[in-house]
Amino acid sequence: MTIEVRVPTLGESVTEATVATWFKKPGDAVAVDEMLCELETDKVTVEVPAPAAGVLGEIVAGEGETVGVDALLATLQAGEGAAPAPAAQAAPAKAASAPASGGASVDVMVPTLGESVTEATVSTWFKAVGDTVAQDEMLCELETDKVSVEVPAPVAGVLTEIAAPEGSTVDAAAKLAVIAAGEGAAAAPAPAAAAPASAKDVADAPSARKLMAEKGMDPAAVQGSGRDGRVMKEDVIAALNKPAAKPAAPAAPRAPVPAEDAAREERIKMTRLRATIARRLKDAQNNAAILTTYNEVDMTETMALRSQYKDEFEKRHGVRLGFMSFFTKACCAALKEVPEVNAEIDGDEIVYKNFVHMGIAAGTPQGLVVPVIRDADQMGFAEIEAAIAEKGRRARDGKLSMAEMQGGTFTISNGGVYGSLMSSPILNPPQSGILGMHKIQQRPMVINGEIVARPMMYLALSYDHRIVDGKGAVTFLVKVKEALEDPRRLLMDL
Nearest to 367 by CA among 40, 12, 96: 40
Choose, from 33, 201, 469, 486, the residue flagged as catalytic: 469
pLDDT band at 262 (very low <50, low <70, confident <90, very high): confident
pLDDT tens across 203-216, in order? Answer: 566 566 767 777 77
Choose, from 201, 465, 486, 493, the residue flagged as catalytic: 465
pLDDT at 231 over 90: no
Query: Strand 410-414 vs strand 358-360: parallel, antiparallel, or unpaired?
Result: parallel
For residues 215-243, average pLDDT: 72
Whether 317 sits among the annotated catalytic residues: the reply is: no
All residues at 6 or more sequence positions from 301 whose CB lies less than 8 Å from its CB, including other chains:
484, 485, 486, 487
CB atoms within 10 A of CB 482: 15
Q: How far apart are CA 354 and CA 342, in angstroms?
A: 8
pLDDT band at 42 (very low <50, low <70, confident <90, very high): low
Asked if 31 contacts 18 with a C-beta cutoff of 8 angstroms, the reply is no
Nearest to 416 by CA among 320, 315, 296, 321: 296
- Please give the pLDDT value at position 376: 95
pLDDT band at 99 (very low <50, low <70, confident <90, very high): very low
Q: How far apart are CA 328 and CA 307, in angstroms?
A: 18
Judged by average pLDDT, the poorest of 127-131, 254-258, 398-402, 437-441 is: 254-258
C-alpha separations of 460 from 14, 287, 327 in Å: 32, 20, 13
Judged by average pLDDT, the poorest of 38-42, 287-291, 376-380 is: 38-42
Q: How far apart are CA 112 and CA 53, in angstroms?
A: 31
Q: Which domains does the chain have, with CATH numbers?
A: 2-195 (2.40.50.100), 286-491 (3.30.559.10)
Nearest to 66 by CA among 278, 365, 271, 224: 271
pLDDT at 3 over 50: yes
Nearest to 158 by CA among 135, 132, 136, 196: 132
Q: How far apart are CA 311 and CA 305, in angstroms?
A: 11
Asked if 294 contacts 460 with a C-beta cutoff of 8 angstroms, the reply is yes
- Please give the pLDDT value at position 327: 97
pLDDT tens across 272-324, in order? Answer: 656 766 787 788 889 899 999 999 999 999 999 999 999 999 999 999 999 99
pLDDT at 96 over 70: no
Asked if 215 contacts 200 with a C-beta cutoff of 8 angstroms, the reply is no
Average pLDDT value over all residues in the chain: 81
Whether 465 sits among the annotated catalytic residues: the reply is: yes
- Please give the pLDDT value at position 225: 65
pLDDT tens across 49-70, in order? Answer: 888 888 898 999 988 888 887 8
Q: For 346, list phi and psi in degrees, rounded to 5.
A: -130, 95
Q: How far apart are CA 396 and CA 360, in angstroms?
A: 13
Asked if 22 contacts 16 with a C-beta cutoff of 8 angstroms, the reply is no
pLDDT band at 250 (very low <50, low <70, confident <90, very high): low
All residues at 6 or more sequence positions from 456 whose CB lies less than 8 Å from its CB, including other chains:
296, 297, 298, 299, 440, 441, 442, 443, 445
pLDDT band at 413 (very low <50, low <70, confident <90, very high): very high
Q: How far apart are CA 300 and CA 119, in angstroms?
A: 50
Judged by average pLDDT, the poorest of 209-213, 248-252, 345-349, 456-460 is: 248-252
